[in-house]
Structure 1
Amino acid sequence: MKHSSPLPPGSARFTDRFLAPRIARNRAVTIPSAVRKCEETGRFAAFDLKWKPGMPDKPHIYWDSDVAKVLEGMANMLAYEPDAGLEKQADELIDRIVAAQQPDGYLNTYFTVVEPEKRWQSLFDCHELYCAGHLTEAAVAYFEATGKRKFLDAMCRYIDYIAQVFGRGENQIHGYPGHEELELALIRLYRVTGEKRYLDLCSYFIEERGREPSYFHKENPLVNLWNLQAEKTVRQMTEVTGHAVRAMYLYCGMTDLALETDDKELLAVCERLWQNFISKRMYITGGAGSNHWGETFTHDYDLPNTQGYSESCASIGLCFWAMRLLNGTGKSCYADILEQTLFNGALSGLSSSGDKFFYSNQLEVTSSMYEVGHYSRHRQPWFDTSCCPTSYCRFLGQLSRFCFSESSDGVDIHIPVAAEVKSRCGFAFGIESDYPWDGKVKITVKSDGSYRLGIRVPGWCRDPQIRVNGEAVQQITSCTVIARQWHKGDTVWCDFPMSVELCRCSNMVYGNAGKVALKRGPVIYAFEECDNGRPLSRLLIDPAGEFTVEKSEIDGIFFASVKGAALEESFEDTGKLYFSGEASFAAKTFTAVPYALWGNRGGTDMSVWMREKH
C-alpha cells in the first residue's frame, strides 16, 4: 500500500528566500533560544534527578517532552548540515538523559523524583506515555542523523519495559496513552530497528483505545472521554474530536499503522476523518481546534475568528498527518492541504526573528481582545507550557519531508521551493523558483539515469504548463509523472499561474457571513492595523477592483504583499453608541500581507476575513 517516503533532511538543501532563512534561523536562533529557556527553567537539570521537595524548579509532568523536541530539532539540523559544536551539545544532553534511566528501563523525570509511587496511575492526564513518545522520536532522529546508538538503545530498553507493562495479558495494564504521540513514535522505532514488537505495541495502543469498559474511567469516573478521543474505538470514528493536538498525533499513528499493515479499513477511517476535518472543521489557514476550553474541536462549522484557538502544535501536527496520507496514497489533495497549512497556520506561530511564538493563532485580533491563557496579541518568548516553541525546533529542520518524497525509482515534488535535491536512489536536481510567491519553476537535472519525476500540480492552479527541454507535456494531471532517461542539464519548466482570489465561506460559519478572505496561490493574506489603520471593520473589499502584488522582505524573509481597492465606511459622529443614519464611503487602497508573517511590524489589530462590497 505504501507509495513513497518523505525525503529526509539531509537530502535537500533549501535555497529559497522564504523557508531557507527560517531553517538557518532555527539553527542560529530558535534552538539556542529554547536551550536557554530549558536551562533557565530547570528542564535540563530535571534529568539529574536531584530535585527534592521545597527546592525550586519542580519538574512538571511534560517537561521531558520539551527537552526531547529540542533534541530532535538538533538531530534534524545535524542531518541537514553537520555541525560539530551542535553535535557535542546534543551528546552531552543525551548523556544527561540516559543517566536518568532507571534499572528497569523506566525514563521519566517527574515520576522518578516527584511522585514515584504514582507511576502509570493517571494515564489520561499525566503525559507519561506522551513523553516516552517524544523521547523515542528524538532518539530515532539522532540515530538517523549521526549513526550513534546510545540514545536509541536506551529508548529501546524503555519501550521494551513499556511493552511488559501494557497489553491484554492478565498481569498487564489494559491502558493506552492519554495524550497520543507514542503511537507514531513506535512506528518510527519499528522502521529504524525492524523489530516487529514495536509495531505490535503500536497496534495494541491504537486498537485498545475507546474499548469498553473504559480504562480512563477506572482512573477517573468523571474524565471526558471525548476530549481524549476515547469515547469509541478508532474504527468507529467518523468525526475529528477532542483535543486537537492529541487528535492529530493519533491520526498520524493510525495512518502509519494502516500503511505498515496494509489495513485498508483503518486507512479508510483515516480518510473519513480527514474529509470531516477539511470540509467542516478546518480554518482557511490550516488551523485546527476552535475552542480554548480543552484546546478542542467542537462541532461542524464552529470556526470563530477572535476566539478560535488553532494551536501552533495542531497545525504542525496537521502537516505531519497530511504528509503521511500523501505518501501512503499518492493523492495530491493531501498535498494541497499540507501546502496551505505549511505556508499559513503552521508558520504563523513563529516570529520572523525566530525567538517569539504564538500558542494560539486567531484569524482576528483587536487591541481590546482579552489576553487570557494562551490568547495573546503578540508573540511571546516562552510559555509555562512550551510545547509550541519546542515544536518549531523539530519542525523547521525537516521541511524537506513535506516538500518532497522519494521512492526506489524517483522523486515527487509536492511543493516546488528552490532547493538542491539528491535522493537515495541517485536522482539529483536543482529547483529555481520564488515559490510560493511566483509560480514559475525551473528544474535542472544533475544526474544521468532512468528515473521517475512526479510533479504535483497545485489544486488552486487554473492553467498549469509543464515543458521538458522545451517540449510541452500534453497530459498534465494533479500529479504529473515524467518517467524517462534523464541526462545532466535536462530542464523541466513549470508555470503555475497565480492570481489573487477572494475566498468565501459556507454560510454555516456565521462569523464569516458577508466576508471574504484574500488568497494568492497557497498563501492566505491578513489585513493589519499598521497598513490599514483601525478599526479594520470599517473597510469593505471591492471585488471588482484590481489587485497589485509587491515584493518585500522582513528580517531577511522574502514575501509578496497585495494591494487592492476598498471602501472606507464612516458615519456622522453623534457621540452615540447606537444611532440611525446613512453611511458614507470613500475610496481607499488596502494592503494585505501573508498571514504567516503578521505581527512582525508592530501594531495590534489583524483580520483575515473582511467585509465585502456588494
Structure 2
Amino acid sequence: MIMNDSMLKNIRLKDGVFAPRQETNWKTTIPGCIRRCEETGRLKAFELKWKEGDPDKPHIFWDSDVAKVLEGMSASLQIHPDPAMEKKLDELIDLVIGAQQPDGYLNTHFTVIDQDKRWTNLHDWHELYCAGHLMEAAVAHYQATGRRKFLDAMRRYADYIDSLFGRDPGKKRGYPGHEEIELALVKLYHASGEKRYLELARYFVEERGTEPNYFVTAENFPEAGLKNRQAHKPVREQTEVDGHAVRAMYLFAGLADIAGETSDPALLECAERLFRNTVQRRMYITGGVGSTQFGEAFTHDFDLPNALAYAESCAAIGLALFAKRLLDITGKCEYADVLERVLYNNGLSGISLQGDTFFYANPLEMNETFFERGHIYSSRQKWFDCSCCPTNYCRFLPRLGLFCADAAPDRLRIDIPAAMEICRPEYAVEVTGKYPYDGRIGIKIKKGGDFTLSVRIPSWCRKHEILLNGKAVAVSDDGYWTSKRVWQTGDEVTLILKLVPEVVYADPRVPADIGKAAVQRGPVVYCLESTDNPGILLHSARIPAHPEFTLRAAEGLPAGTEALLFRGEAVKPSDGPLYGTNPPAYEAVQLCAVPFALWQNRGKSAMQIYLQVK
C-alpha cells in the first residue's frame, strides 16, 4: 500500500508536463538546493564545529532541508542514473551520519547549541520532524542503492526515539509538534521489517490530543494553540481538518498509512472523513490547501480567499501524499480526482519551469499592486530562510510516476494517463498521447501477461469512450474500466476523454467567489496573466456564462501547452479620481487564459483565476 521508491524503475514518464520537470529537477533543482545548503551553512552544520560568534548558526529545522535533498537525490537516481550525483550523495550521507551521537541521536542544533534541551519543547522545536525526514532519506537511499549505512544509522536513531517515547513506565508521553515522523516510521518499518517502528508511528498518532494533554501539562503550551498542532482532541475524534496545513497533511498521510497497515476500519474511516472535509469544504480549485498566512493554516469551512490565499507548496505536496495513500488503500476514484487536481495545478505552480525559483505560497490572484507579506511573494524566489518548499520539490518531482500509476505484479492501475512506459518482469505497457491537453490516450501491451488492468475515467469528463482492440467496451460506474485477462503482446486499449473548456463555479457558501467563475479544461485550471492580456485590469475581467472558447498554442510556454481565447469584458486603467459617481466603463475584449501551474514563467505579471460572470 505504501509508495515504494523501488517501483520508480518500473515507471518512466514520457509526457510533455511531468517528464521535463523531472529532468529539470535532476539537472537544476537538486544541484541548486545542494549549493544553497552549502552557502547557508546547512551542510557545514553537520561538522558540529559551530561556536558562538560564528556565522550561520544551525537552526532547529535545517536538518530537514538537507534530508529532503538527500531523499530527492536518491529518488532521482532511480530514473536518471548519474554516477557523479551518486558519488556526491554518498559524500553528503557520510557527512550527515558523522554527526550522529553514540546514543543514536542526530540533530545539529541540539548537539552544538542547546545541548541540555533535547526533547524539552516538542511542540515547537522540530526534533521529531527532522528525524522523520532523515529516516525518509535513509529509506530512499537504501531503495535506490541497496546500501545500508544510512538506513542502519537511522534505525539506531529510531531505536533511540523508541526508547524514549511511549506509554511504558518511564517514557515520555509526548509526540511531535510538527508531524512527519509518523509516515517516516511506516517507511522505515517496510524497509527493515521491524514492527516496533510501526507501533511507534501508531503511538504518535493515537496519543496526540489525548488528556492530560502533553503539550499543556509537560510543556506549558497554551491550549489556544493546540488546534494549530492538531492536538486539541484525539485524532479519532477529529471531524474537521484544522491548524497548520502542512502538519495536518503529513499527520493524515501517516494516519492513512497506519490504517492500511493495521487494517483498522475505524482509523480508515477517520482518514476518509478528514480527507472529505478537506476537499469538499477547505480546498482551492487549484488543489491548494491552507487559506491564511497566520499560522500557515486552515481556518473554517468555505473560507477560501483568493488574493490572500496561502496554499503553501508543501501543503499541496502533503495533500497529494494523503490522497495517494487513500487511493491505494481503497481504490476509490475520488482520491485520484483530487490527486490529479493537485499535480496539474498547485503541485507545479510553486516551482518555475527552469527549476531554480519557487513560490512558498500560491495565491489565486495577484494584481499589479500586490503587497508582499510573510512568505507570500509576487514573484518566485531563489531561496527562503525557511526553505521547506524548494527542498520538498527535490523529492516530490522524481516520484510523479508513482502518482500516475500503481504497477503490482498481478495488476496495473492507471490513475493519470500521462505518456509513460511501465515495465515489470510480468508485463510491459506503453501509454501514449498528449494528456492533459489531448484526451486521446493509447495503452499498448508491449509484453503480454496475466494481470488486471484498470484505467481511470476522471470525474470531470462528461463524455468518454474506451476501445479494446478497436471495439467499444462498457465502463462500470466506479470510475475505472477494469479487465482481468491474459493480455497478448500487441493488445491495445484506447481511452478517449472529451476535453471541453468549462466555466466552473464555487459553492455559493464561498464568499470570495460568489458571482465569479473559473475556467478549467480537463484537470487543468486556467488563469488570466497580464503577459497575455496587456493593458487590462485583470481583476475587472468579466466572462460570459457560456463563452465560446478557441484553443491556440500558448506563447512562450512549453510546446503542446494550450491557451484558451474567449470574448469578455474588462476595464482599462485610467487616471481618474480614487472615488467618483461614474461607474467604470467596461468594454469588450478578447481574453487569453493559460494554465495556472505555468503562470509567471515569462516575467513578472499579474494573475487572476476567478472572474466576474456577466
Q: State if a TM-score over 0.5 links the two structures.
A: yes
1:195 is aligned to 2:197: no
Asked whether the 8 Å contact 2:466–2:472 carries over to 1, the reply is yes
| Residue of structure 2 aligned with 1:539, choices 533, 538, 541 | 541
In the alignment, what sits opposite 1:312? 313
| Residue of structure 1 aligned with 2:568, choices 545, 566, 569 | 566
Unaligned 5+ runs, structure 1: none
Query: SS of 2:532's equivalent?
Result: helix
1:283 is aligned to 2:310: no
Percent of aligned positions that are identical: 50
The Cα shift of 1:205 comes to: 0.7
Of 513-522 and 475-484, the range deviating more from structure 2 = 475-484
Query: SS of 1:116's equivalent?
Result: coil
Asked whether the 8 Å contact 1:245–1:317 carries over to 2, the reply is yes
Asked whether the 8 Å contact 1:350–1:379 carries over to 2, the reply is yes
In the alignment, what sits opposite 2:123? 124
Give the letter aligned to residue 561 of structure 2: F
Query: SS of 2:602's equivalent?
Result: coil
1:352 is aligned to 2:353: yes
The Cα shift of 1:406 comes to: 2.4
1:296 is aligned to 2:333: no
In the alignment, what sits opposite 1:605? 606
Counterpart-to-counterpart distance in 2, 1:14 and 1:575: 53
In the alignment, what sits opposite 2:473? 473
Asked whether the 8 Å contact 2:367–2:539 carries over to 1, the reply is no
Counterpart-to-counterpart distance in 1, 2:375 and 2:314: 13
Once the two structures are superposed, residues 520-564 of structure 1 have per-residue CA deviations (whole angstroms, 9 ceiling, x without a partner) of 000000111111133212321123331011234756464211111
Give the letter aligned to residue 96 of structure 1: L
User: What are the equivalent positions in structure 2 for 1:194-273 lying under 5 Å apart?
Assistant: 194-217=193-216, 218-222=218-222, 224-273=225-274
Counterpart-to-counterpart distance in 1, 2:206 and 2:5: 26
1:403 is aligned to 2:404: yes
Query: SS of 2:566's equivalent?
Result: strand
Query: SS of 1:346's equivalent?
Result: helix
The Cα shift of 1:578 comes to: 2.5
The Cα shift of 1:410 comes to: 1.4
Q: Given the two structures, how large is their TM-score scaled by the length of structure 1?
A: 0.97
The Cα shift of 1:170 comes to: 2.0
Counterpart-to-counterpart distance in 2, 1:417 and 1:554: 22
Of 92-101 and 167-176, the range deviating more from structure 2 = 167-176
In the alignment, what sits opposite 1:427? 427
Give the letter aligned to residue 355 of structure 2: G
The Cα shift of 1:450 comes to: 1.2
User: What are the equivalent positions in structure 2 for 1:125-140 lying under 5 Å apart?
Assistant: 125-140=124-139
Counterpart-to-counterpart distance in 2, 1:473 and 1:575: 62
The Cα shift of 1:576 comes to: 2.6
Asked whether the 8 Å contact 2:241–2:277 carries over to 1, the reply is yes
Asked whether the 8 Å contact 1:6–1:402 carries over to 2, the reply is no
Asked whether the 8 Å contact 1:367–1:377 carries over to 2, the reply is no
Counterpart-to-counterpart distance in 2, 1:4 and 1:246: 19
Asked whether the 8 Å contact 1:452–1:483 carries over to 2, the reply is yes
Unaligned 5+ runs, structure 2: none
Residues 4, 450 of structure 1: alpha-carbon distance in 2 compared, 3 angstrom cutoff: farther
Counterpart-to-counterpart distance in 1, 2:148 and 2:575: 74
Give the letter aligned to residue 560 of structure 1: E
1:36 is aligned to 2:35: yes
Once the two structures are superposed, residues 459-488 of structure 1 have per-residue CA deviations (whole angstroms, 9 ceiling, x without a partner) of 111111111111111234411101111111
Give the letter aligned to residue 445 of structure 1: I
In the alignment, what sits opposite 1:463? 463
Counterpart-to-counterpart distance in 2, 1:258 and 1:403: 22
Once the two structures are superposed, residues 48-71 of structure 1 have per-residue CA deviations (whole angstroms, 9 ceiling, x without a partner) of 111011111110000000000000
The Cα shift of 1:438 comes to: 0.9
Once the two structures are superposed, residues 479-522 of structure 1 have per-residue CA deviations (whole angstroms, 9 ceiling, x without a partner) of 11011111111111110110000001122211111111000000
Query: SS of 2:222's equivalent?
Result: coil
CA-atom RMSD, angstroms?
1.6
The Cα shift of 1:334 comes to: 0.3
Counterpart-to-counterpart distance in 1, 2:159 and 2:575: 73
In the alignment, what sits opposite 1:163? 162
Query: SS of 1:70's equivalent?
Result: helix
Give the letter aligned to residue 489 of structure 1: G
In the alignment, what sits opposite 1:58? 57
The Cα shift of 1:582 comes to: 5.0
Asked whether the 8 Å contact 2:5–2:75 carries over to 1, the reply is no
Query: SS of 1:517's equivalent?
Result: strand
Asked whether the 8 Å contact 2:411–2:451 carries over to 1, the reply is yes
Of 535-544 and 181-190, the range deviating more from structure 2 = 535-544
Counterpart-to-counterpart distance in 2, 1:3 and 1:327: 8
In the alignment, what sits opposite 2:449? 449
Give the letter aligned to residue 252 of structure 1: A
Of 65-74 and 476-485, the range deviating more from structure 2 = 476-485
User: What are the equivalent positions in structure 2 for 1:407-418 lying under 5 Å apart?
Assistant: 407-418=408-419
Counterpart-to-counterpart distance in 2, 1:193 and 1:128: 22
Counterpart-to-counterpart distance in 2, 1:105 and 1:5: 26
Give the letter aligned to residue 55 of structure 2: P
Query: SS of 2:317's equivalent?
Result: helix
Counterpart-to-counterpart distance in 2, 1:467 and 1:47: 57
Counterpart-to-counterpart distance in 2, 1:487 and 1:230: 53
In the alignment, what sits opposite 2:523? 522
Asked whether the 8 Å contact 1:8–1:398 carries over to 2, the reply is no
Asked whether the 8 Å contact 1:315–1:346 carries over to 2, the reply is yes
Give the letter aligned to residue 128 of structure 1: E
Q: Given the two structures, how large is their TM-score scaled by the length of structure 2?
A: 0.97
Runs of 4+ in 1 over 6 A off after TM superposition: 3-7
Once the two structures are superposed, residues 372-431 of structure 1 have per-residue CA deviations (whole angstroms, 9 ceiling, x without a partner) of 1101000000000000000000000011111001234111000000111113x6221111
Asked whether the 8 Å contact 2:2–2:257 carries over to 1, the reply is no
Give the letter aligned to residue 468 of structure 1: L
Asked whether the 8 Å contact 2:549–2:566 carries over to 1, the reply is yes
Give the letter aligned to residue 543 of structure 2: I
The Cα shift of 1:568 comes to: 2.6
Give the letter aligned to residue 325 of structure 1: L
User: What are the equivalent positions in structure 2 for 1:33-112 lying under 5 Å apart?
Assistant: 33-112=32-111
Number of aligned positions between the proteins: 610
Counterpart-to-counterpart distance in 1, 2:608 and 2:101: 51
Counterpart-to-counterpart distance in 1, 2:556 and 2:41: 34
Residues 526, 400 of structure 1: alpha-carbon distance in 2 compared, 3 angstrom cutoff: same
Give the letter aligned to residue 435 of structure 1: Y
Query: SS of 2:481's equivalent?
Result: strand
Give the letter aligned to residue 219 of structure 2: E
Once the two structures are superposed, residues 217-253 of structure 1 have per-residue CA deviations (whole angstroms, 9 ceiling, x without a partner) of 1212326100000000011010000000000000001
Counterpart-to-counterpart distance in 2, 1:222 and 1:485: 61
Query: SS of 2:561's equivalent?
Result: strand
Counterpart-to-counterpart distance in 2, 1:108 and 1:239: 33
